[in-house]
Amino acid sequence: MLLHGWTATADLNFFACYAGLGRHFRVLAFDQRGHGRGLRSRWPFRLADCADDVAAVTDAVGLERVIVVGYSMGGTVAQLVWRRHPSLVRGLVLGATAAGFSSGRTERLSFLGLTGLAALARLTPSQARQWLTGQLYLQRRTDTWEPWAIGEASSHDWRMVLEAGHALGQFRAHDWLAEIDVPTSVLLTMRDEIVPLRRQLRLLDTIPGAAAFRVDAGHDAPVRHPRRFVPVLVDACNAVAARAP
């Protein structure tokens, strides 16, 4: 079960990974709430609801247990899937993620600032969606993106996406991360400019028995460097499958 990162969609995050993973696993992926074709809700975005969505999707397709693969924001959702639905999780693969994303005052203010933008998006959804799509996501990227990718990002519900950013800023798993009792691989993006390597390493060190898999690339490794990223992701998933009951 592949869980994508913030402001991405399943296909934007993992399009280069499907074939490689598909040679070893049955692969499931869906867009998170407010992202792409994901669920829309008038209620505020909660990462816990995303974790419950994973359980609902798994039940809908008739599976009892899955290896949950979370990238960036998807990694926080994966941690919460284990926390809220432990019997569902056969193992975890956590990539370019952490047990918390904001600690210093500057980072907290940055995440909290998204709340005001989310309110703007709620009050003027059509105009805000157009402005936010251009300013926060597609700016400086449209000259290199394929039309389908631009369409994916443009389909977000930006109010929910921005609330997701705020939720990420509030996320903390440090108090219970050491309780994870399923085989876990941690995929480290060694040149990550979004999630500092020190936070990824802290995640690795806290989860009992977690195995490290390193990719010499930044946070956009799945898209920019798939030849480096995909083989490591496959190895990380196979390692969990080999250890899982």
pLDDT tens readout for residues 173-222: 999 999 999 999 999 999 998 899 999 999 999 999 999 999 999 999 99
pLDDT on residue 134: 52
| Every domain of the chain and the residues it spans | 2-101+172-243
Say if CB 189 and CB 195 are below 8 A apart. yes
**2-18: average pLDDT:** 94
Q: Fill in the amino acid letter for 51.
A: A
**What's the fold here for domain 2-101+172-243?**
Rossmann fold (3.40.50)
**With 80 as the cut, is the pLDDT of residue 9 above it?**
yes
DSSP 20-70: HHHTTS---B-PPTTSTT----SSPP-HHHHHHHHHHHHHHTT-S-EEEEE
205-214 confidence digits (pLDDT tens): 999 999 999 9
pTM here is 0.87
77-131 confidence digits (pLDDT tens): 999 999 999 999 999 999 999 999 865 544 444 444 444 445 544 544 555 555 5
Give me the sheet containing 184-189, strands edge to edge.
2-3, 66-71, 89-95, 184-189, 211-215
Give the chain's mean pLDDT: 86
